[in-house]
Amino acid sequence: MTDSIQQPIFEMIAKQAKVDVGTITPESTLKDLGVASLDAIELIFDIEEHFNINFPDQQGANFDSDTAQSLVDAVHKALEQKAASGEGNA
Amino acid sequence: MRNESHRRVVITGLGAISPLGIGAEALWQGLREGRSGIGPLRHPDAARLKLKIAAQVPASFDPAANIDAHTLPLLDRTSAFALQSAREAINQSGIDFKHDDLGRRTAVVVGTGVGGENTQDEQSRRIYAENAQRAHPLTIVRLMTNASASHISIAYGLRGPSFAVASACASANHAIIQAAQMIRYGMADAAITGGTEACLTYGAIRAWEAMRILADDTCRPFSANRRGLVLGEGAAIFVLESLEHAQARGAVILAELAGSGMTADASDIVMPSADGAASAMSQALADAGLAPQDIDYINAHGTGTLANDSSETRAIHLAFGADASRLAVSSTKSMHGHALGASGALELVAVIGALRDNVVPPTANLDQADPACDLDYVPNTAREMPVRAVLSNSFAFGGLNAVLALTRAP
């Protein structure tokens, strides 16, 4: 279960950061990986599309400081909420 | 020192349609009273949108009230805003384009970020969603970016250089500068200029949502708890003339457009650079023959995004040095929202009001100090103070900066 979520997220991060997926660790931040600004927003979009979820808005927050693990956690949470509501959250 | 080799440019008329009401006076009075034009989003598809708030022109706005039945079907909402605002400005200035064939020597330059977005959205829906076999035959003439400029030209017989200027959120300031330059260097004696925008369509809102920079509460420029920008719409249009032309016809002069500065960051497509903005402000001062200590007020770009407000603050420090802390700086977007390609024009109404009435409009919703925003932002309540000269900042996605410098009527 964890791998089916973590693995594609790490792959999407690696693709956006243009690095080998093996270099991504749970503690890597997007900023460390050079994924800033619009790249970070594009990554969030890719993750939302892949899992068919919506992340809550986090205006004022800074995606750049997010870690790979925090994205995995956020996807878990969004999937749980989606399951609880019994439907897609579109 | 003012450069005496070119003509001076003054403003003799203004008109506006904004979230604070119909007419330039409604906008200015709303701003000086600190009223908010931000409210719940009115949209047929609002239930399907994440966005819940916007700064929209009042629902009572009826283009048919002021625009003739022959012209109306030709207009996107963007052009209706522009044409009605132009009418108000021209009526107020008392300018007569037939006198001495002035129409031949009058330019029209209107800034808009996207042009006829409502038309584009509506026709795309017909064609893609409803599988319509044909688009409305007036689609092209409604949506073209130059439509607003062309309708103003046609309505008043203005036959000088006329076109649209697009630079996203700096469109209006770039347009106003272009118009002023033509008067300055003798290509025109008068110009109708400003900005217009009406792009709160389902598609455009979805696109803005995806950028994750829209506030969900309200617009709080320079406040530590700011959560992004609030989309707006509207138009403001101005009559510009050479000083001697305005004086010769005995016009009431509202303010002098004393100088301008334009720069490009040449760095990131969205993240602003303090250097680029500071250079534009310094250029505007130099062009106007003003020193930092001459300026009393800056109408900031002040979008309420995390990135803009701290970067703009750094830029003001860079351009003004020790004088930065003495300045009154406010973002009227906290009240009229971010009307994108029209925003610099709505803000010019605020700047003219400030120069006329010696009142600086406030930054509304500023209730938590941010260490990265350490200037005097005139929080929440307008301030009566002498306003001799001002700057008005507009900075666009794409790293494009356009700053106006204005002084009191000579």
Dihedral through CA B6, CA B2, CA B286, CA B290, nearest 10? -140
Q: Does residue A64 surpass a pLDDT of 80?
A: no
Paired tokens of A60: 């004022």
Find the length of chain B: 410
pLDDT of residue B3: 56
The three-state DSSP-derived secondary structure of chain A is: CHHHHHHHHHHHHHHHHCCCHHHCCCCCECCCCCCCCHHHHHHHHHHHHHHCCCCCCCCCCCHHHCEHHHHHHHHHHHHHHHHHHCCCCC
Paired tokens of B290: 């003003």
pLDDT digits (tens, 9 = 90+) for B90-126: 999 999 999 999 999 999 999 999 999 999 999 999 9
- Among the listed residues B354, B157, B342, the one whose alpha carbon sits nearest the alpha carbon of residue B238: B342
Q: Does residue A90 surpass a pLDDT of 70?
A: no
CA quadruple B309, B367, B31, B46: dihedral sign: positive
Position B343, amino acid: S
Q: Please judge whether A62 and B268 are an interchain contact, meaning their C-beta atoms are less than 8 angstroms apart.
A: no
Neighbours of A20 (CB within 10 A): 8
pLDDT digits (tens, 9 = 90+) for B325-345: 999 999 999 999 999 999 999
Active site residues of B: 169, 301, 338
Among chain A residues, the shortest Cα distance to B229 is held by A59
Q: Please judge whether B212 and A38 are an interchain contact, meaning their C-beta atoms are less than 8 angstroms apart.
A: no
pLDDT, mean over chain B? 97
pLDDT of residue A85: 81
Q: Which residues on chain B are in Cβ contact (under 8 Å) with A47? A: none
Phi, psi values for residue B324, rounded to 5°:
-60, -40
Among chain B residues, the shortest Cα distance to A46 is held by B210
Task: Report the alpha-carbon distance of residue B368 to residue B365 in Å, rounded.
Answer: 9
Q: Does residue B1 surpass a pLDDT of 70?
A: no
Q: Say whether the ipTM exceeds 0.90.
A: no
Neighbours of B298 (CB within 10 A): 27
Report the phi/psi class of residue A85: left, alpha or beta, with left for phi > 0 and alpha for psi in -120 to 50: alpha
pLDDT digits (tens, 9 = 90+) for B380-408: 999 999 999 999 999 999 999 999 999 99
Portion of chain B with pLDDT greater than 70, in percent: 99
Paired tokens of B99: 């006198």
Q: Please judge whether A59 and B213 are an interchain contact, meaning their C-beta atoms are less than 8 angstroms apart.
A: yes
Q: Does residue B172 surpass a pLDDT of 70?
A: yes
Nearest to A57 among B212, B226, B268 (CB): B212
Q: Cα(first)–Cα(last) distance of chain A, in Å?
A: 23
B99 interfaces chain A, CB cutoff of 8 Å: no
- Among the listed residues B261, B254, B294, B275, the one whose alpha carbon sits nearest the alpha carbon of residue B404: B261
DSSP state for residue B135 in the 8-state scheme? -
Q: Please judge whether A37 and B271 are an interchain contact, meaning their C-beta atoms are less than 8 angstroms apart.
A: yes
Task: Report the alpha-carbon distance of residue B344 to residue B200 in Å, rounded.
Answer: 18
Cross-strand pairs, B260: B404
Average pLDDT over residues A48-72: 79
CB distance B172 to B227 below 8 Å? no
pLDDT of residue A88: 46
Residues of chain B numbered 286-325 and touching chain A (CB < 8 Å): 306
**pLDDT category of residue A38 using cuts at 50, 70 and 90:** confident
